[in-house]
Amino acid sequence: MRSLRVITYSWLAVVGWLVGTGAAADNDPMAFFEAKIRPVLAEKCYSCHSADSKTLRGGLLVDTRDGLLHGGDSGPAVIPKNPDESLLLQALKYDGFEMPPTGKLSEETIANFERWIALGAPDPRIGKAAEKRTIDIAAGKNFWSFRPIAHPEPPTVQNAAWSAGAIDRFVLAGLEAKGLSPAPDADRTTWLRRVTFDLIGLPPTLAEIDDFLADRSPHASERVVDRLLASAHFGERWGRHWLDVARFAESSGGGRSLVFDNAWRYRDYVIDSFNRDKPFDQFIVEQLAGDLLPHKTPAELETNLVATGYLILGAINYEEQDKQMLEMDVADEQLDAIGKGLLGMTIGCARCHDHKFDPIPTSDYYALAGIMRSTKVITHENVSHWVERPLPMEPERAAAVEQYDAQVAAIEGKLKAAKALFEKLTPKGSMPAGPLAVDSLQGIVVDDIQAKRVGAWRESTSNTSYIGSGYLTDDGEGKGTKTATFQPEFKKAGMYDVRVAYAPHANRDAAVPVSILHADGEFSGTIDERDTPPIDDRFVSLGRFRFDETNQWFVLISNEGTTGHVTIDAVQFLPVDAMEPAKEQKPELAKVDDASAKTAIKAKREMQSLQKEMKALQAKAPPRPKAMAVEEAEKIEDCPLCIRGNVHHPGPAVPRGVLQVATTGEAPTMPSDHSGRLELARWIASPENPLTARVYANRVWHHLFGVGLVRTVDNFGTTGELPSHPELVDCLAARLIDSGWSTKRLVREVVLSRAYRMSVADNATARAVDPDNRLLWRMNRKRLDAEELRDAILMVSGQMEWGCGGPVSNTRGNSEKPESSTEYGHVFTDVRRSIYTPAFRNRVMELFEAFDFADPNSVAGRRNTSTVAPQALFLLNSPFVMDQAQLAAERALAEAELTDGQRVECAFRETLGRKPSAREKKVALAAVKLDSDASAEARADRWERLFQALFGCIDFRYLE
Amino acid sequence: MCDLIQQAFNRRQALHSAACGFGYLALAGMAQGATSSGAAATSPLAPKPPMIPPKAKRVIFLFMAGGVSQVDSFDYKPEVDQHDGQMRDFNDARNVARTGKGAQSRLMKSLWKFSQHGNSGKWCSELFPEMNRHVDDLCFVHSMHTEGVAHGPATLFLHTGSTNQIRPSMGSWVTYGLGTENNNLPGFVSLVPSMGNGGPRNYGNAFLPSVFQGTAVGRAGIPAKDAEIRYIANDRRDDDEQRRQFDLVQALNREQIKDAKNESDLDAVIQSYELAFRMQQHAPEVFDLDKESPETLAMYGIGEKETDNYGRQCLMARRMAEAGVRYIQVNYSDNSNNPAWDQHSNMPKHGTHAKAVDKPVAALLTDLKQRGLLEDTLVWWGGEFGRNPFAEKNGTGRDHDPNGFTVWLAGGGTKRGFSYGETDEFGHRATENKVHMHDLHATILHLLGLDHLKLTFRHAGRNFRLTDVAGNVVHDLIA
């Protein structure tokens, strides 16, 4: 207080004219405000915190007294007479908030504010605090997508002959209302190519085309559809659609991209679910809460666990150092995926403030976040990690594992006995004592004199067993001031065993801190230097770490926090693949009598043979399958509302719950002993939820018609687009629910409609009325997506490997740098269907990149369909396309009995699903034409070019 | 087939005079994002008028991945030297992020001596002797601060304005706002980018239309001399054969859209081939350094072991700037999770990296200046954060410092021989005239004629911008 007075009086000396001579702050606090506080507020704060601010920050106004007292999002800014509790003062002191952001005010100015608040914060500025907008949930429920799903009757139409069912009547009624009529039916080959790609993602084969054209029965189309729905390829196509929504990827992306070795299990689960036509509501519950479901068999448990991988697959920066923020980021990512993917809601907008457009208050966001935060998905270290859970094993596999464990235990027991015997016969010190040259050791050895030393280390040779030139000791002094950093130069990337040599003694410290910076993160541990080092009496191993030639790596040993003496002799980096137990140094046994020596040698030999046996056994260890799967957190708790989304500014806790606006009837009650995920899952998967069935039915429509009835397929909120046919959306949603949430039945009904059969034919009148074809006066032309393009090429070239499922994502075996734990060097070689191609976040197959593969970083219910020059470059110049064209040409030429004309027809039918037009045929024949004496090679080259041109042409790329 | 070739030729001529982008004429992707007029859009990459009078037309960003130490280069702090070895309380960013509080740490002096340079008398260390000759052209910002303590988050923040959310990168925003001036080249190029620390997201378009995706030329780990646009060349077929293949595809294409006059998306396929073919003929020239004089090559250090790689990149950058590429990122990086400048233990390695970039960067400045390009080219040099003035874990290296670090700008309407902002007496935290990364983004956009508050894109129901809800233009940096 004394210093404050001094400041106040010195200030008075300067600006005394303003407040009148001799008027102390205590006497005229208002004048003090005018002189010392208002100018600072105006100059430093008003630009962001006044009625005139372009954008008001933090909901805080400081240009009125009410504004300050009422405060912003973080609560009152000023509590009169209580400077310590006033956020404004804390912010000025850069304690928590840092205001003004451009730089801290002078100590004097801050003291003035403290004084002013202590005086009761007198302030003549009248005016209101910022108005807080409140969300009217009940009113919000009037929006179309939040209303209960209706069961609308199909309208009556004029052209009843055209409409095959309810879908057609809704579509036709829309057209007739505008005086439009539907396009004529597509021809049969066009329809077949369309429905085959749409249902299984592949072109029809020649035999399938022939069969269909030959089948003149009225049920021919149904037969095709039922065949396609029953195909195992159906799940590969429709599973992929879901993987886009589930932002599926096989690496974490984010900053340091980590490979998800077990993500393929989730992918296979999704494919299998679609092939089985698993009810979509069950599919939802499994993914959100499979771990909480009962199960009858181990297989069922496995399915349930693998399904929850959905919650973990997101793009996450696992190396984020602020772990509290990281946890909130993970929850946010999950809510984003659930919101957009299942509910068509951009929930994430409510993380920092009430949703500006949709009736989602911030409290709803944190109600949901509490459920996610009560779920364990991440474990923390420098670079954190997602949770993996062991999978149940079939009896045979479990038995194999049990047997393996028993064998390991048996060898370990024998090893221990042999070691004990050996040690008994060759007491400590009998290992080769004395100095050991650095170059007599394997791997990379950094001696203590090569280490970068900080602080007063002393070089010692008192303990005569040292490596290189003596060892360092801190003499038990200068604790916390000494470090030694060992920087190896790696010529080859790979895994290394890191071993530290020290000079043991009873007076040494029991926990010498060591940290290692390695290519996968950071390791911290301690060494007990009291005991003789376990490896050759010299070294202790800290574990195996990956290093590469960038050589940013180090081992740092410190005497921080130690009490005993700390010694450091050397650090050895032993390449793991070069570690041979047999190469261990031979014991020196001359001093021991003969009988014992023989026994000791025998014991040593046994040890070596046991170690060999162990290695062989370990090489054949039975797999212990693990899955990315969640579990309930140790602590179930509500999440505090983070003010302005800042995890370090927690507000009151919000009881766990669901979105109010999408709740009809009673909201689910959240259990106190569980996260509430199961309740959330059932609330989403409920027929009562107005969003779920609508969003999913619209996705199905989107995939079949190329455009959704709601075009913003991931956004059913007020900022999304309105449905073109709201009643049809409800009709489809209701049918989905009534059919027991069967995807296949919904797909079947849509593709057998007359609307789906329409051609893409243009119609000038209709185009003028409805240029975007919202009313569906014709079928939309659809571009094949990246997978369809690649799969079709592989089918035509005959290279497709029809395997199903399983891991291929293991980059270690398929990388330019096999030692790498990242996807960066992955080489894409497999020729299975594209859904099995590893989907890495930081390394996407080039064809996928060029043709708008779904961005795996967020929910992508609708892919881009760009038409860009890099696609043309890819089709003209990529080795992949040229190779496949060559293989296709070889196949075509192998049919020796065909004429070139017939061969051209086959080529067109295989690639485009139709015969060439007369002119196309002319162009193609001209392209392959050669003199009769041309070489076979020249001939193959011509046919290669024709196939490449077919892969590149418009009709290959588009579905009509 | 003569008539077919003739048709192709006519079309090519027609396209040459049209203002269009990197092969992106009518785009279904674009039409989806824009209003649903249904009409073919003009190229989204066509040059667009700036929102405000611009000072710069293009950016060359020299990215020093891993984080250069400010107290070893341009932020002269005699106190670090004077108090070398003393333990002080520091709010170390990593400690604060993990534990909420700072720790005692040992001040560690620089290995490089400082002296004054240029007419401006700027204090610089001997780390970058060649750059030091240019200090009178540079505009230093010493009070930078940013988000993210680790490389991944901070690198993403530098490029996209977010540590974790999926956002478009700066180059994508710039080309979205301004288009590009050369229709034979991409508008946004990242030279030999790393796949680490966010990888493609650092030049990704995120939710912007894919035409604004940065084009990676080469990638980290591959020598710059082998860097080229993917699939721009075909080494299996000679020029004649390539032309014939192109004509064959186009002949089929034209036949297939004969009856589809109004289908702009189909026409776009034909046009994408035309443009690809033109690019194939012209783009490689830009990356071909053989046409440069021996003096120029020598000035960039091309042919010298240490500087060859970055020298080539910097010279390519100049050639691209001349050719009208809008946003050019020149990466000094690798694929490691601890990239290039990340000296946690071995400070002398800063010298190795400095050697690799110093001469090329200085040459680029000289070259741009003598060609008059520095006037409207904004050069930005810097990393994702700086390094601490104290030793990491009391060892011999420096950990990351996101709370105070230095970048410099040159040309493009920035003040010359000017230094802005200050860190504390040890160079650890920005104190005076702090410039957040959002502010730097806002300022760079402003120099290019873009208002960071108005450069928005509607996605998932709301407007997004590079600077999120923050960012102030630092007018003091502008000449």
A239-256: average pLDDT? 92
Alpha carbon of A556: minimum distance to chain B alpha carbons (Å)? 7
Contact (CB<8Å) B460/A356: no
pLDDT higher than 90, residue A649: no
Band of the pLDDT at A607, cuts 50, 70, 90? confident
Residue A803, SS3 per DSSP? coil
Give the phi and the psi of residue A497 in degrees, each rounded to 5.
-85, 125
Closest-CA residue in chain A for B36?
A: A772
Q: Which of A846, A865, A958 sits opposite B230 (nearest CB)?
A: A846
Spell out the alpha helix ranges (H) of B61-167: 78-82, 93-99, 129-132, 151-160
Least confident of A475-484, A641-650, A899-908: A641-650
pLDDT, residue B42, reads 58
A774-791: average pLDDT? 97
pLDDT higher than 90, residue B376: yes
Contact (CB<8Å) A873/B434: no
pLDDT, residue A816, reads 61
User: By C-alpha distance, which of A586, A580, A583, A538 is closest to A422?
Assistant: A586
Contact (CB<8Å) A842/B196: yes
Q: What type of residue is A326?
A: L
pLDDT higher than 50, residue B244: yes
| Under 8 Å between Cβ of B56 and B378 | yes
**CB contact set of B173 (below 8 Å; sequence gap of 6+):** B208, B212, B445, B455, B465, B466
CB < 8 Å to A946, chain B: 248
The one-character DSSP state at B144 is E
The residues facing B216 across adjacent strands are: B190
Band of the pLDDT at A106, cuts 50, 70, 90? confident
Within 13 Å and on the Cβ side, how many CA atoms surround B350?
Answer: 26
Contact (CB<8Å) A480/B394: yes
Alpha carbon of A915: minimum distance to chain B alpha carbons (Å)? 13
B220-224: average pLDDT? 87
CB < 8 Å to A100, chain B: none
> B66-104: per-residue pLDDT in tens?
999 999 999 999 999 999 999 999 988 888 888 888 888
pLDDT higher than 50, residue A19: no
**Any idea which residue has 């399958």 for tokens?**
A625
pLDDT, residue A47, reads 83
Residue, of B173 and B204, whose pLDDT is higher:
B173
Cα A154 to Cα B106: distance, rounded to the nearest angstrom: 78
Mutation for B interface: A877, A883, A904, A944, most B CBs within 10 A: A877
User: How many angstroms separate the Cα of B367 from the Cα of each of A605, A693, A875, B134, B372?
Assistant: 71, 62, 38, 12, 9
Closest-CA residue in chain A for B30?
A: A866
Contact (CB<8Å) B38/A771: yes
Q: What type of residue is A583?
A: K
Contact (CB<8Å) B265/A256: no
Within 13 Å and on the Cβ side, how many CA atoms surround B259?
Answer: 7
Cα B424 to Cα B422: distance, rounded to the nearest angstrom: 7
> B412-434: per-residue pLDDT in tens?
999 999 999 999 999 999 999 99
Q: Which of B337, B345, B460 sits opposite A485 (nearest CB)?
A: B345
pLDDT higher than 90, residue A304: yes
Contact (CB<8Å) A945/B244: yes
Contact (CB<8Å) A358/B461: yes
CB < 8 Å to B462, chain A: 346, 349, 356-357, 719
What is the helix (H) or strand (E) element at residue B60, kind and residue range? strand B58-64
Contact (CB<8Å) B272/A864: no
Least confident of A625-634, A865-874, A944-953, B344-353: A865-874
CB < 8 Å to B275, chain A: 869, 872
| Under 8 Å between Cβ of B405 and B386 | yes
Q: What type of residue is A168?
A: D
Spell out the alpha helix ranges (H) of B100-226: 129-132, 151-160, 170-178
Residue, of A680 and A111, whose pLDDT is higher:
A680
Per-range mean pLDDT, top range of A112-121, A143-152, B220-229, B453-462? A143-152
Cα A871 to Cα A849: distance, rounded to the nearest angstrom: 9
A710-732: average pLDDT? 94
Contact (CB<8Å) A958/B266: yes
Contact (CB<8Å) B461/A868: no
Mutation for A interface: B45, B337, B425, most A CBs within 10 A: B337
Indicate the average pLDDT of chain B. Answer: 88
CB < 8 Å to B250, chain A: none
The burial of A608, by beta-carbon neighbours within 10 Å (0-12 exposed, 13-18 middle, 19 or more buried), is given as: middle
CB < 8 Å to B265, chain A: 781, 783, 865, 867
Residue, of A801 and A804, whose pLDDT is higher:
A801
Tally C-beta pairs within 8 A across A and B: 318
CB < 8 Å to B282, chain A: none
Q: What is the Cα A689 distance to its own chain's centre?
A: 27
> B311-347: per-residue pLDDT in tens?
999 999 999 999 999 999 999 988 877 889 999 988 9
> B289-310: per-residue pLDDT in tens?
998 999 999 999 999 999 999 9
pLDDT, residue A927, reads 96
Give the phi and the psi of residue B147 in degrees, each rounded to 5.
-110, 150
Band of the pLDDT at B359, cuts 50, 70, 90? very high
User: How many angstroms separate the Cα of A149 from the Cα of each of A146, A659, B195, B347, B367?
Assistant: 9, 17, 47, 66, 67
pLDDT, residue A129, reads 66
pLDDT, residue A602, reads 83
Mutation for A interface: B88, B264, B338, B457, most A CBs within 10 A: B338
What is the helix (H) or strand (E) element at residue A398, kind and residue range? helix A395-425
Closest-CA residue in chain A for B247?
A: A949
Mutation for A interface: B184, B210, B258, most A CBs within 10 A: B210
Contact (CB<8Å) A346/B462: yes
| Under 8 Å between Cβ of A23 and A11 | no
pLDDT higher than 90, residue A786: yes
pLDDT, residue A638, reads 95
Contact (CB<8Å) A256/B206: no
A194-221: average pLDDT? 97
pLDDT, residue A383, reads 86
Band of the pLDDT at A326, cuts 50, 70, 90? very high
pLDDT higher than 50, residue A23: no
pLDDT higher than 80, residue A591: no
CB < 8 Å to A852, chain B: 29, 210
| Under 8 Å between Cβ of B203 and B171 | yes
Band of the pLDDT at B466, cuts 50, 70, 90? very high
CB < 8 Å to A857, chain B: 166, 201, 206
Contact (CB<8Å) B275/A872: yes
Least confident of A56-65, A243-252, B135-144, B381-390: A56-65
| Under 8 Å between Cβ of B251 and B10 | no
A15-39: average pLDDT? 65
Q: Which of A57, A103, A878 sits opposite B434 (nearest CB)?
A: A103
Mutation for A interface: B20, B240, B255, most A CBs within 10 A: B255
pLDDT, residue A7, reads 40
Alpha carbon of A494: minimum distance to chain B alpha carbons (Å)? 13
pLDDT, residue B9, reads 37
pTM of the model: 0.81
Closest-CA residue in chain A for B251?
A: A923
Residue, of A817 and A472, whose pLDDT is higher:
A472
A687 cis-preceded (ω within 30 degrees of 0): no
Tokens of A631: 């579990």
Give the phi and the psi of residue B61 in degrees, each rounded to 5.
-105, 115
A49-59: average pLDDT? 78
Tokens of A25: 């702050």
User: By C-alpha distance, which of A264, A260, A282 is closest to A273?
Assistant: A282
Model ipTM value: 0.80
Band of the pLDDT at A131, cuts 50, 70, 90? low
| Under 8 Å between Cβ of B340 and B332 | yes
B150-166: average pLDDT? 92
> B3-52: per-residue pLDDT in tens?
433 443 343 333 333 333 333 333 323 323 332 233 234 577 888 999 99
Cα B450 to Cα B447: distance, rounded to the nearest angstrom: 7
Mutation for B interface: A954, A956, A957, most B CBs within 10 A: A954
Contact (CB<8Å) A548/B336: yes
Cα A807 to Cα A801: distance, rounded to the nearest angstrom: 15
